[in-house]
Amino acid sequence: MTPEQFRQVLAAQGLELSDHQMEQFAQYFEFLVETNKNLNLTAITAENDVYLKHFYDSLLPALTIKDLQTEKLTLCDVGAGAGFPSIPMKIAYPNLEVTIVDSLNKRINFLKELAAKLGLDGVTFYHARAEEFAGKRSEFRESFDVVTARAVARMSVLSELCLPLVKPNGRFIALKAQKTQEEMDNAQVAIKTLGGKVSADFESTLPETGDERHIVVIDKVAVTPKKYPRKAGTPAKQPLGEVSK
């Protein structure tokens, strides 16, 4: 997907990017590829692939869930890595107030420099483990309208990292690819335990490649018990509700 094709495909879905926004995406691509020479941010570096598999892919939640396009929502991106999906969403929809959490300080430094280069306001960064960031004494616990995660962990683990950050009546939005149903089946106990309820699984495919994508929406219907999330590393080692093999 070339930058112009990216623009055209989005326009066909009602997102008209300005020349300034297109320049921001171009700067994002250039800085990502340049930094990636010394810091392992992504295995995808060809321009057409970055625009399709990173930029377009990151915009799927907002293209699917319309209030993300217009409401002044607080959004926390857990394990954002090179900034996906939150930075492309922020470029396209400046109404979003974005908080990014990542466990590697080098990635946080990259994202801070990126935001400065792109002139992005309303974006804050925290170097922290998700388990600590959402802990029972954290000021951020149950404080966000929306929490997103892309390519971080399977749903049983991801739910424990993300749902404690979602305010009651807010949403956790997970970006998933294949085998989503299997993940969701294994995550039902975790989601319910943590105060969530699955409200939607929007399935789509990427243009050109036809790769399967899922936008899974989990509503926060009850307060997360204070004992969750457990200490750092435990959710991944002992996923809630999964039977050990």
pLDDT band at 42 (very low <50, low <70, confident <90, very high): very high
The answer as to whether 181 is a domain residue is yes
* 3-class secondary-structure state, position 75: strand
**Is residue 142 a contact partner of residue 226, using CB atoms and an 8 Å limit?**
no
Pairing label, strands 97-102, 74-78: parallel
- Mean pLDDT score of the chain: 94
Mean pLDDT of 73-96: 96
The percentage of residues in the chain with a pLDDT greater than 70, rounded to a whole number, is 99
What tens digit of pLDDT does each residue of 166-184 get?
999 999 999 998 777 888 9
Q: Is residue 233 in some structural domain?
A: yes
Instruction: Confirm whether 13 is domain-assigned.
Output: no
* Residue 2 within a domain: no
Output Rg (C-alpha) for the chain, integer angstroms: 17
Read off the DSSP letter of residue 203: E
Whether 9 is covered by a domain: the verdict is no
Beta bridge partners of 77: 100, 148
- Domains in the chain, number: 1
Rounded to an integer, the average pLDDT of 140-147 is: 97
Q: Is 29 among the annotated ligand-binding positions?
A: no
Residue at 148 is within a domain: yes
Is 7 flagged in the annotation as binding? no
Give the domain extent around 118.
60-237
What are the tens digits of pLDDT across the range 108-125? 999 999 999 999 999 999
71 is in an annotated binding site: no
Asked whether residue 4 is domain-assigned, the answer is no
82 is in an annotated binding site: no
More confident residue, 10 or 152: 10
Residue 226's pLDDT is: 95
Query: Is 84 one of the annotated binding-site residues?
Result: yes
42 occurs within a structural domain? no
Distance of CA 237 to the CA centre of its chain: 22
pLDDT digits (tens, 9 = 90+) for 1-37: 999 999 999 999 999 999 999 999 999 999 999 999 9
**CATH value at residue 99:** 3.40.50.150
